[in-house]
Amino acid sequence: MNNLRSYTLPELETILVKLGEPKFRAKQVYEWIWKKYAGDINDMTNLSKDLRTKLSVQYFIPKVKIHHTQHSNDGTIKNRLQLHDSHFMESVLIPTENRMTVCVSSQVGCSLSCKFCATGYIERKRNLDYDEIYDQVVLTGQQAQAKYGKNLSNIVFMGMGEPLLNYKNVLKAIEMITSPDGLGMSPKRITVSTAGVAKMIRQLGDDKVKFKLAVSLHAPTDAKRNQIMPINESNNLKTLIEALNYFYKCTGNEITFEYILFKGVNDSIQDADDLVKIYRQVPADLINIIEYNPIDAAQFEKPDEEDVDAFMEYLESKKVNARLRRSRGKDIDAACGQLANVDHEAEA
């Protein structure tokens, strides 16, 4: 059986013509797949029963299903999603007064092993296909409408996995999310986050992508970054900075640094000064300073509030555009770095 959503419109036209159907039937199938979000070929009611039967012999639609949902006290919703091959991954709906954001995953597990991230302790099982990424957005958008009466406003690829190590599927998913034949969202409302795969950041520049880029920095020197993010050993800060400048030269797109504060690791004034030096070398719009969300597998701690304040004040004194970002969904392990695909009892 073949995934019906894996074909382009011209490829569907070829398939339908071979089945003895007029070419325009392909457009109807394509709309059912992407705009009407059909869960089954038999849902395509403007196709004849005979055609639906013929399609069902060779093709299927491997829809992602919500396995269970958790609701945070702050309104955040975390979904454990089941794939057609029984693997699981997670996505998060983050509602605020002005935004309705979905945090999507790009892989089942992760291969990068960042020491502070729960997903980094899970073996990477496989990449998500582009239609599975698309499903996360659709399902969460349906939740946003049902719970809050609002459409999704933003998409962030900050869930499980490293998006740039699933490059082809992530870009194809974004193509469909932004296409008039899909969800029609603006690429300027999409942010892809990377731990710093320099080669693929350059590829984003070559491909002239239109979405925003966020970089999980988390340490301002190679020595410290090597300790908490093994990817830095093969993608050091000099290489990363060069790649980011190339990306900006090619696209002019917004770049944001993400920086989690760990007590006694990267929260000193010297660390802040080193961070300023990196910021000065990249046309970054913003540094998001993030509070650490503890996980069982790691021994890191949150800094004291006075140290956080001092860190922020130093950045401000150096005219750095920095924002302290408070985490959402901590009580259901839905905050930054906490997605671990752990089974829980479902909540209504």
The conformation of residue 90, written as its DSSP 8-state character, comes to E
| pLDDT at residue 84, rounded to an integer | 93
The conformation of residue 248, written as its DSSP 8-state character, comes to H
| pLDDT at residue 336, rounded to an integer | 55
22 has pLDDT over 50? yes
Q: How much is the pTM?
A: 0.92
345 has pLDDT over 50? no
- Mean pLDDT value across residues 129-157: 96
| pLDDT at residue 292, rounded to an integer | 86
81 has pLDDT over 80? yes
Which of 50-59, 68-77, 205-214, 247-256 has the lowest average pLDDT?
A: 68-77
Proportion of the chain above pLDDT 70, given as a percent:
93
Q: Which of these, 174, 154, 169, lies nearest to 102 by C-alpha position?
A: 154
Q: For 194-215, how does the pLDDT look when each residue is reduced to its tens digit (9 = 90+)?
A: 999 999 999 999 999 999 999 9
Q: How far apart are CA 161 and CA 107, in angstroms?
A: 5
SS3 content of the chain, % helix, strand, coil (to 5): 40, 20, 40
* Structural domains in the chain, sorted by start: 2-60 (1.10.150.530), 65-332 (3.20.20.70)
The conformation of residue 59, written as its DSSP 8-state character, comes to E
Say if strands 77-82 and 65-71 run parallel, antiparallel, or are unpaired: antiparallel
Q: For 270-281, how does the pLDDT look when each residue is reduced to its tens digit (9 = 90+)?
A: 999 999 999 999
Residues 6+ apart with CB under 8 A from 108: 83, 87, 88, 89, 124, 125, 126, 127, 128, 160, 161, 341
Catalytic residues: 90, 336
- Distance of alpha carbon 142 from the chain centroid: 18
Q: How far apart are CA 195 and CA 164, in angstroms?
A: 9
pLDDT, the chain, mean: 91
The encoded tokens of residue 96 equal 């605020």
Higher pLDDT, 199 or 302: 199
Which of 83-92, 202-211, 297-306 has the lowest average pLDDT?
A: 297-306
| pLDDT at residue 338, rounded to an integer | 46
